[in-house]
Structure 1
Amino acid sequence: MKIFFFCKPYLLSQKYTIVAYIALTLLSSAIGIISPYVIGNFLDDLVISADKSVIFRFCIIFGGLSILKILKDYITSIMYTKMQVQMGYDLNIRVIKHVQSLSLSFINQKDGMYLNQRFNGDSYNLITFCLTTLQGVITNIILIVVPFVILLANNWLITVLMIGFILVYITLYLALREWLYKAGLVFKESQAKFISKLYEQLKHIKLIKINSIQSELNKRAEDSFTDFKATAIHSQKANFVYSSLEGMIASIAQITLFVIGGLQIFNGNFTVGMFTIFNSYFSMMLNASRYFFGLGATYQNAMGSYNRIKDILKCRGESYGEKIVESIDRIELLDISFNYNTFPNNNYACEASSSNQEQETIVEDRAFDTAQVRVENVIDSFSAKFSKGNMYALSGPNGAGKSTIISLIMGLYIHEYDGEIKYDDVCIREIDMVTTRKRLIGFAEQEPLLINDSIRYNLDYNDNASINGIDLLKNTDNMCANSRTVSLDECIKILNMESFINQNSFSFIINEKNTNISGGEKQKISILKVLYKNPEVMIFDEPTSALDMNTTRKFINYLQKIKSDKIIIIVTHDEYVKGCCDEIVQI
């Protein structure tokens, strides 16, 4: 089965717990099989025997079995929860990591809330299906086979009757399975989109208030809800028809058993106790058959989740080279052309190994497919060189592509441009850009998004860094190749942040939307992060837009002081900053 093969790594990670879980479940099945004998013999003993001790003996046996079952149910429920939560997380994080590896331009065209709801719900749905099916299939096979053998040995007519109803179940499932699958898949898609539209009402709350567009945005949610409600009703109808047919067959089977069993009692072939035993085993087989019939609907639902996750995983992640760069003396962009509407680009300008070429980003997924229409390039035949020891001003009108060039330099669109980008004559497609960005490149955004955590965490993303006054211990794993150490205290003074840090401390928690600090302080924290990291390549996007003139001068003077062993690129419209740079690169 596809789903089990897909979830195999997660099931194997919990194999011992799963074995113990199934063993305890089989114990419950054994108790279920024994119980009809206990009850049936008790009824016959009541009719035949005048000994009241029969009642007490029955109560002790039946009560003991009930207590044992309750204890088993408690243990298995805890085991199931632990396995389901852990395996669901493992699958979920695998999909998240894969999404993180996809092309940035591809991800930017997707709704984050839709993606999150999609793979989060589907991951846990698949794990739940596997666990419940493993336990359910084994249990219900036993509950069919053992009673079948017992019934066949005692009454072939009832056994044949049971086989007939099982065949009816199988026929109905084969006839309705595609309908169930399609109804479930459409419902899942509309549900994910509806939740995304609901989140939109909160995500853009400031925009809504400023423009007084509550009714317009609410209308978007209402339209999405209308579609969601229609698909929910259709899905419910499909499941109701399926379950109703299953219930109808079960009722007919039960009535047929009562007719045959009643006639057997009238003819003297059955005692009341024997009929109770037969009825119990027949019901046991019937319920087990109904389980497999219901499993068909559950399977079609799980297949919807499986195909949606596979659609995500079929999108190949960006492939980086394996070359580790220890230092960067020169960055060259040669005849670069780029636009956001065509990806990926198969025409690699610089030579790379065939294995790298085979790993180019390919979008194969129907649900994710986006119209790929080539439009006018954002960047067309652009060339530039950035060398160590210099400070560069990247300048040009808004929309000219300055931020895009920065993204290309950092390898964020690794396979989506024409031309060549080289670090010291090595094509960036041959370089491990993840490691390079981590160790050698620092970037301060114009409008930074800070993580909902402390100021300290937003400086180095390290939970284990210690704070002593205003000095942090740099994590040696994340140190750039430059051995020069930087005092955080010095960096704070350069940006005139002493008052802010003293008032709030490094432990100050920045909220999710970053609304408890000003835009200027956000930008300073972003710049501080780069200065403290002290990488060989420093990139700043409009860093002085929220700085006063005094802070701007101190900041630029510091960059001039340290530029000898760095490549510093500043996207700016500020004439003062341009005048302090060694070269102005005009876009």
Structure 2
Amino acid sequence: MKIFNFVKKFIFKYKSSLIVFLFFSIIGWLMSIIVPYITGNYIDLLLQSKDFKVIYDFTAKIVLIGIITIISSFVMNYTYVKIQTKSMTDLNFYVLDHVTKLPILYFKGVDSACLNQRINFDSNTVVSFVLANVLDILTNALTIIFLAYISMRINAKLTLELMALIPLYILLYFVFRKPLYIRGYELKEKQNEFFSKMNDNLQNVKVIKLNATFKEERARLNSAFEKMFNSLLRYTKVSYLFNSSNSMVTTIARVIIFFVGGMEIINGNLTIGDFTIISSYFSMMIGSVGYFLNLGKSYQDALISYDRLRQILDEPQEINGTIRLEGIETIELRNVSFAYDNSKKIIHDFNYEFEKGKIYCIVGDNGAGKSTLINVILGILVNYYSGEIYYNSIEIKELDMYYIRRKIIGVTEQEPKLVNDTIINNLIYGVEVYDYKTIDKLLKDLNVDIDKFHEGLNTKLNEASSNISGGEKLKIAIARTFLKDPDVIVLDEPTSALDVVSIEKLKSMLTALKKEKIILIVTHNQEFLNIADEVIDLNRISKKVECLV
């Protein structure tokens, strides 16, 4: 029930399609019930009558039922795929949205490819389980009850002997339920690990080539495969034993129906047509009972996926307040400290106030905490630091930093990530108000020769932006930050891939912009220190920040 409650909002979102699916599913079910009954009556009528009208009537009925069945099957399957795909995608996006709002250190050590595959697979499993069974549970229960009633009216003795096998089916489920869950969970985890290793192999092709570590990579893949393969064999063994037990009971049922049914026909208690009806109906009842047994098995599979999704969704999201700012005048840090994994503090009792109209350069050796300080200031590490951070005298934990970072903070990272899209779409990514005249001017000011690209701004960037240089990638990222026209501009090592001319142009742009901005620059470049109003040297900080003006 908890799986149904978890998924229903994603499925019931498409009510009209769901109603169509349910309606035609019921039509198809009714046709499957009718066919054996009229077939049995047809056999008896043929044995009793030589009238060709019997043949014509039966043929017409079969043709009509066939047409209805084909139409119902088509509409049912079409709407099923439509609902299943949309619902699975909605659930997938729901989980991904939650994941993107988890504290940043949650992702430390997390394999993104493995996590993505896990979310996709588990979302598909739980949605498919609920959608496939939302009607089948009812129709299969009605099948058992309705067909048992008809069979009892035809021949109670044969029906009761066959019905005695049902408790054996139920016992099988309880015997195999736990082993199926344990082995199924283990298999899914090992599959994720294996495909994650394969993804690593593709992502690290260059490293593998440079070091010629083909042998080592194959060994890593073989090790992951062996673990997955052994897990698969353990799961297959349990699953096969379950299915074999199921087949054994089905065989016993066949023996009963042919032996007892044959005796009843010879004794005159059963017609051949009625025997055919009971035989067909009991096969359907066995199928329905088997459905409920397999429902237990598929429920265990779905439960595994549900539990894994819940593990992700139960992770608490990062702190994000509700107060929105439309402008930033000051950012103040009071006694701020931060450390990774309870190790030595990277930032210790940091006190500082950043004001609009100034350029601040943050310097220090590698590992001094420059980028970490930026992440703390921007609220990326909001769950982990101690002390207080104020934007316009409002504590950061009360602020809607998602809104603020989107609207009035612009950041260019040291190694900017561009999306696999056109240059223009990368420039306007996350930018709500822009015009092409401003874009052209920014690119010109940053010394970007857009004409060198075959399709200009519409040139599509390859995966990992491999068809542009590091400098061009950095300039596009900086242009996007400036196009946003934020109150706070953050540049992390902006000269790492820029030539001398581009650096000079960038300095001029920052100097011209600073009056209405708070500009934070992480840099080792002396050129930027020359335009800084204040320099924060993290190498000199012990408990209190020193400012070099």
TM-score (norm 2): 0.95
* Equivalent of 2:528 in 567, 572, 577: 577
Cα distance change, pair 71–417 in 1 and its aligned pair in 2 (3 A): same
How many angstroms does 1:500 deviate by?
Answer: 5.0
Name the SS of the counterpart of 2:379 in structure 1: coil
C-alpha distance after superposition, 1:159-217 (max 9, x if no partner): 32233211111111112111111111111111111111111111111111112112212
Name the SS of the counterpart of 1:580 in structure 2: coil
Alignment of 1:378-397 (within 5 A): 378-397=346-365
Name the SS of the counterpart of 2:65 in structure 1: helix
How many angstroms does 1:81 deviate by?
Answer: 0.5
User: Hey, what's the Cα distance between the residues in 2 that align with 1:298 and 1:70?
Assistant: 27
One-letter amino acid matched to 1:560 = T
Q: Which residue of 2 aligns with 1:539?
A: 490
Q: Which residue of 2 aligns with 1:35?
A: 35
Of the structure 1 ranges 106-115 and 302-311, higher mean CA displacement relative to structure 2 is found in: 106-115
Q: Which residue of 1 aligns with 2:514?
A: 563
Q: Are the aligned partners of 2:411 and 2:491 in contact in 1 as well (CA < 8 Å)?
A: yes
Of the structure 1 ranges 109-118 and 13-22, higher mean CA displacement relative to structure 2 is found in: 13-22
Alignment of 1:417-496 (within 5 A): 417-461=385-429, 470-471=436-437, 487-496=438-447
How many angstroms does 1:570 deviate by?
Answer: 0.7
Q: Are the aligned partners of 1:457 and 1:463 in contact in 2 as well (CA < 8 Å)?
A: no
C-alpha distance after superposition, 1:462-488 (max 9, x if no partner): 699897xx52xxxxxxxxxxxxxxx33
One-letter amino acid matched to 1:23 = F
User: Hey, what's the Cα distance between the residues in 1 that align with 2:427 and 2:521?
Assistant: 20
Q: Which residue of 1 aligns with 2:11?
A: 11
How many angstroms does 1:490 deviate by?
Answer: 2.8
Q: Which residue of 1 aligns with 2:377?
A: 409
Q: Are the aligned partners of 1:243 and 1:294 in contact in 2 as well (CA < 8 Å)?
A: no
Cα distance change, pair 394–498 in 1 and its aligned pair in 2 (3 A): same
How many angstroms does 1:498 deviate by?
Answer: 3.5
Q: Which residue of 1 aligns with 2:58?
A: 58
How many angstroms does 1:503 deviate by?
Answer: 5.6
Of the structure 1 ranges 246-255 and 306-315, higher mean CA displacement relative to structure 2 is found in: 246-255
User: Hey, what's the Cα distance between the residues in 1 that align with 2:396 and 2:452?
Assistant: 38
One-letter amino acid matched to 2:378 = M
Sequence identity (%): 36
User: Hey, what's the Cα distance between the residues in 2 that align with 1:465 and 1:141?
Assistant: 58
Q: Which residue of 2 aligns with 1:350?
A: none
Q: Are the aligned partners of 2:84 and 2:131 in contact in 1 as well (CA < 8 Å)?
A: yes
One-letter amino acid matched to 2:492 = D
One-letter amino acid matched to 2:383 = H
How many angstroms does 1:424 deviate by?
Answer: 2.2
Q: Are the aligned partners of 1:25 and 1:139 in contact in 2 as well (CA < 8 Å)?
A: no
Name the SS of the counterpart of 2:315 in structure 1: coil
C-alpha distance after superposition, 1:23-59 (max 9, x if no partner): 2222122212211221112211222212233333322
Q: Which residue of 1 aligns with 2:80?
A: 80
Q: Which residue of 2 aligns with 1:46?
A: 46
Q: Which residue of 2 aligns with 1:293?
A: 293
Q: Are the aligned partners of 1:446 and 1:542 in contact in 2 as well (CA < 8 Å)?
A: yes
C-alpha distance after superposition, 1:485-539 (max 9, x if no partner): xx33332222111355676511111112110000110111111111221211111
User: Hey, what's the Cα distance between the residues in 2 that align with 1:322 and 1:316?
Assistant: 17
Of the structure 1 ranges 497-506 and 199-208, higher mean CA displacement relative to structure 2 is found in: 497-506
Q: Are the aligned partners of 1:491 and 1:528 in contact in 2 as well (CA < 8 Å)?
A: yes
TM-score (norm 1): 0.89
One-letter amino acid matched to 1:544 = T
Cα distance change, pair 204–46 in 1 and its aligned pair in 2 (3 A): same
User: Hey, what's the Cα distance between the residues in 1 that align with 2:136 and 2:422?
Assistant: 47
C-alpha distance after superposition, 1:431-475 (max 9, x if no partner): 1101110111111111111000111111122699897xx52xxxx
Q: Are the aligned partners of 2:442 and 2:479 in contact in 1 as well (CA < 8 Å)?
A: yes
Q: Which residue of 2 aligns with 1:231?
A: 231
Where in structure 1 are there 5+ consecutive unaligned residues? 342-373, 472-486
Cα distance change, pair 450–62 in 1 and its aligned pair in 2 (3 A): same
User: Hey, what's the Cα distance between the residues in 2 that align with 1:493 and 1:291?
Assistant: 68
Of the structure 1 ranges 239-248 and 50-59, higher mean CA displacement relative to structure 2 is found in: 50-59
How many angstroms does 1:385 deviate by?
Answer: 2.2
Q: Which residue of 1 aligns with 2:329?
A: 329
One-letter amino acid matched to 2:64 = G
One-letter amino acid matched to 2:396 = I
Q: Are the aligned partners of 1:162 and 1:286 in contact in 2 as well (CA < 8 Å)?
A: no
Q: Which residue of 2 aligns with 1:368?
A: none
Q: Are the aligned partners of 2:22 and 2:135 in contact in 1 as well (CA < 8 Å)?
A: yes
Name the SS of the counterpart of 2:164 in structure 1: helix
**Number of residue pairs matched?**
538
| Regions of 4+ moved over 4 Å | 462-467, 499-504
Where in structure 2 are there 5+ consecutive unaligned residues? 539-549
User: Hey, what's the Cα distance between the residues in 2 that align with 1:407 and 1:528?
Assistant: 21
User: Hey, what's the Cα distance between the residues in 2 that align with 1:88 and 1:490?
Assistant: 44
C-alpha distance after superposition, 1:353-391 (max 9, x if no partner): xxxxxxxxxxxxxxxxxxxxx222222222322111111
User: Hey, what's the Cα distance between the residues in 2 that align with 1:301 and 1:466?
Assistant: 49
Cα distance change, pair 31–502 in 1 and its aligned pair in 2 (3 A): closer
Q: Are the aligned partners of 1:187 and 1:231 in contact in 2 as well (CA < 8 Å)?
A: yes
Cα distance change, pair 507–198 in 1 and its aligned pair in 2 (3 A): same
